[in-house]
């Protein structure tokens, strides 16, 4: 889930992690295969993987289908207990868990150069990124792979659903009102990184080779908010080095799902799970009603896709 921020809104026994997983876009088999193909092509082995910021362990679970052993770490004690419960029920011998922030993992009792693959899904913007990348380099074996990815706001794939797109954008903006102001908080660097499509994540040449930056649906914003919705300047320095590969694709079938308005509400509720003020709740209810009509009714499903950035880097 991450290692930084002013509050952890996913804490507490009342949070429904199974519903959280249901209301998330899920990387498909081709996405994982892309990572594994890169790993294999650069001499990687398939013994030990480490999933950073594992949350409920859903990514670790998928990686465990290919790797012999998977270690899952998470800064939150509660999240770690959830992941441990889920993963032990799948295979107690394959999975291990640990409470630890991503920036601190290389000094948390792990042998340097012991890990074949590190996955970092949906959490790198919440970390002290330079410290984290340095720690990951220490942990990986030579020719090991670091895979970092993040998806952005939902995109209605059908151009005729422009009205629905405008409404979901309004909903996301209103839902974020609960945590304003953002300037000076952990959300500020996180939002800037999303606007950069992770291009401000650096891979120092002394540690990394075969760096690839893949982007799908980069014509759509990664940040859940419009630029005008934030109270800080959106500016970043690109860390893309000469020789790194940049691969871009506009593909409205990428990670596509068919979703009704109920799924869309679940996505917002579980992505931004804080308690809103009564007046904000009323406005959100009204916007979701508008979205229901715009999508064609309560049971009508529309195709949803996502802007996604994937960073792949091989340890020297």
pLDDT tens digits, 256-300: 999 999 999 999 998 887 777 788 889 999 999 999 999 999 999
pTM assigned to the model: 0.93
The count of other CB atoms within 10 Å of the CB of residue 160 is 8
3-class DSSP assignment, residue 48 = strand
Structure-block tokens of residue 141: 């074996």
What is the structure's pLDDT at 202?
A: 98
- Contacts of residue 261, Cβ cutoff 8 Å, sequence gap at least 6: 288, 291, 292, 295, 298, 300
What confidence score (pLDDT) does residue 244 get? 98
**5 pLDDT more than 70:** no
pLDDT at position 233: 87
Question: pLDDT tens digits, residue range 193-247?
Answer: 999 999 999 999 999 999 999 999 999 999 988 877 788 888 889 999 999 999 9
Average pLDDT over the chain, rounded to whole?
Answer: 91
Between CA 23 and CA 222 the distance in angstroms is 18
At a CB cut-off of 8 Å and minimum separation 6, what does 125 contact?
2, 150, 189, 190, 191, 193, 194
Give alpha helix (H) positions in the chain.
17-22, 29-41, 58-63, 77-91, 129-139, 162-175, 187-195, 261-271, 278-295
User: 115 has which bridge partners?
Assistant: 140
Whose CA is closest to 80, among 53, 61, 99, 58?
A: 99
- Cα separation, 310 vs 289, in Å, equals 34
> Strand, helix or coil at 107?
helix
Q: Does residue 65 register a pLDDT over 60?
A: yes
pLDDT tens digits for range 6-52: 345 555 556 788 888 999 999 999 999 999 999 999 999 999 999 99
Contacts of residue 92, Cβ cutoff 8 Å, sequence gap at least 6: none
Residues 70-129: tens digit of each pLDDT: 999 999 888 899 999 999 999 999 999 999 999 988 888 788 999 999 999 999 999 999
pLDDT of residue 117: 98
Q: How far apart (Å, rounded) are the C-alpha atoms in residues 83 and 147? A: 20
Residue pointed to by tokens 């809104």? 9
* Whether the predicted pLDDT of 311 surpasses 90: yes
């Amino acid at each position: 889930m991450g290692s930084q921020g002013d509050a952890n809104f996913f804490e507490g026994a009342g949070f429904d992690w199974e519903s959280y997983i249901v209301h998330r876009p899920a990387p498909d088999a081709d996405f994982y295969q892309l990572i594994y193909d890169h790993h294999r092509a650069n001499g990687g082995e398939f013994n030990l993987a480490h999933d950073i910021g594992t949350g409920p362990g859903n990514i670790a679970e998928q990686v465990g289908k290919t790797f012999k052993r998977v270690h899952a770490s998470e800064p939150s004690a509660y999240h770690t207990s959830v992941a441990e419960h889920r993963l032990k029920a799948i295979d107690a011998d394959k999975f291990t868990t640990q409470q630890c922030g991503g920036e601190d993992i290389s000094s948390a009792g792990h042998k340097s150069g012991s890990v074949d693959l590190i996955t970092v899904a949906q959490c790198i913007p919440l970390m002290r990124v330079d410290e984290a990348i340095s720690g990951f380099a220490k942990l990986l074996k030579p020719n090991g792979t670091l895979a970092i990815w993040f998806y952005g706001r939902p995109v209605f794939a059908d151009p005729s659903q422009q009205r629905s797109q405008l409404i979901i954008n309004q909903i996301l903006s209103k839902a974020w009102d609960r945590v304003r102001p953002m300037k000076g908080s952990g959300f500020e660097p996180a939002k800037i990184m999303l606007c950069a499509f992770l291009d401000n994540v650096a891979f120092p040449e002394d540690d990394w080779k075969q760096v690839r930056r893949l982007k799908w649906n980069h014509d759509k914003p990664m940040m859940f908010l419009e630029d005008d919705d934030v109270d800080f300047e959106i500016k970043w320095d690109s860390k893309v080095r000469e020789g790194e590969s940049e691969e871009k694709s506009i593909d409205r079938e990428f990670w596509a799902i068919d979703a009704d308005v109920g799924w869309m509400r679940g996505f917002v509720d579980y992505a931004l799970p804080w308690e809103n003020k009564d007046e904000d709740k009323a406005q959100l209810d009204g916007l979701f009603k508008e979205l229901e009509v715009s999508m064609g009714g309560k049971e009508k499903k529309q195709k949803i896709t996502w802007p996604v950035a994937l960073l792949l880097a091989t340890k020297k």
